[in-house]
Amino acid sequence: MTIAVGFEGSANKLGIGIVRDDGIVLANVRHTFVPPPGEGFLPRDTAKHHQQYVLSLLQQALTSASLKPADIDVICYTKGPGLGAPLVSAAVVARTVAQLWDKPMVAVNHCIGHIEMGRLITGAKDPVVLYVSGGNTQVIAYSMNKYRIFGETIDIAVGNVFDRLARVLNISNDPSPGYNIEQLAKRGTTLLELPYTVKGMDVAFTGIIGKLETLARTNKYTKEDLCFSLQETSFAMLVETTERAMAHTGATEVLIVGGVGCNKRLQEMMEVMVAERNGKLYATDERFCIDNGVMIAWAGLEMFRVGVVTPLRETWCTQRYRTDEVDVTWRD
């Protein structure tokens, strides 16, 4: 039995997870840096948050799993992509722990972590993956030992649009801007016209947030209608590009991962499209779609089982680390 611990700190959520090689999650603890309403999270402040909580979270994870350091076989950490200072804050602790405990290390791509965690939890075999978060928006499918990106945002991520609208409307960041926008959108009744920008397989969202900021300044529209219109327009764009990827690959499964993937309205809209194609939709809840340490532990464990080990001198971080850069040697 091989056991891995994973450190995730690429954005405002610090997570530590422990998982066995049979897919059993032993611990999944997380602490979120929550800035005041109307503000975003700055890398410097987020890094300080991670530094403050990482050791207590590690102890909490070990206690929850009823394990000792000697029981751990491999230390996994997020190499990137993400915010530089928070990434380094988590990676430094992972490196230190690996040396203190005399354990090997595996550097993990954050996006791959989301995909592999989604596959583990849902049982999806070979899905088209819609990866949507505050920093990423990609339509992905596996082919020839790579997760190929069929389409992506050409400007900002869809989750970034939600975050920016929350700041404009002074919506609380607790528990997250996206969750609070989702709740407001449920009470929206009027669909406002927003830019719908799909370019082949790619999407663009800056036109949407620009128009929303303009509409918000007029004070003619309710927060509920602005949030409702954002969801309906941006999610329709994502459903369209995901359907195109399904048609191209012949896939019958769709897996939604990433923090925005928790949104029930996105899941509803995607479910309609997938059902019309006689397919099946897979999604996870907030325990696993939001950034967490277990996804890093599991992806790292899959890599470790096929012989991947990251030498200490190469355990650095990078803010830019594309999904399709990783050799997926653990899949057929």
Q: Which residues are annotated as a binding site for a divalent metal cation?
A: 110, 114, 131, 291
Place of tokens 């990866």: 131
With a CB cutoff of 8 Å and minimum separation 6, the contacts of 96 are none
Q: Please report, in range form, the residues annotated as the binding site.
A: 110, 114, 131-135, 163, 178, 182, 263, 291
Tokens representing 203 are 């999407």
CB contact at 8 A, 154 and 330? no
Cβ atoms of 95 and 105 within 8 Å: the answer is: yes
Residue stretches of the annotated binding site for substrate: 131-135, 163, 178, 182, 263
Q: CA–CA separation, 57 vs 73, rounded Å?
A: 19
CB 17 within 8 A of CB 25: yes
Among 114, 134, 157, 123, residue whose Cα is nearest residue 293: 114
DSSP track, 9-75:
-SSSEEEEEEEETTS-EEEEEEEE--PPTT----HHHHHHHHHHHHHHHHHHHHHHHT--GGG--EE
232: tokens are 């309906």
In the 3-class helix/strand/coil scheme, how is 245-286 assigned residue by residue?
A: HHHHHCCCEEEEECHHHHCHHHHHHHHHHHHHCCCEEEECCH
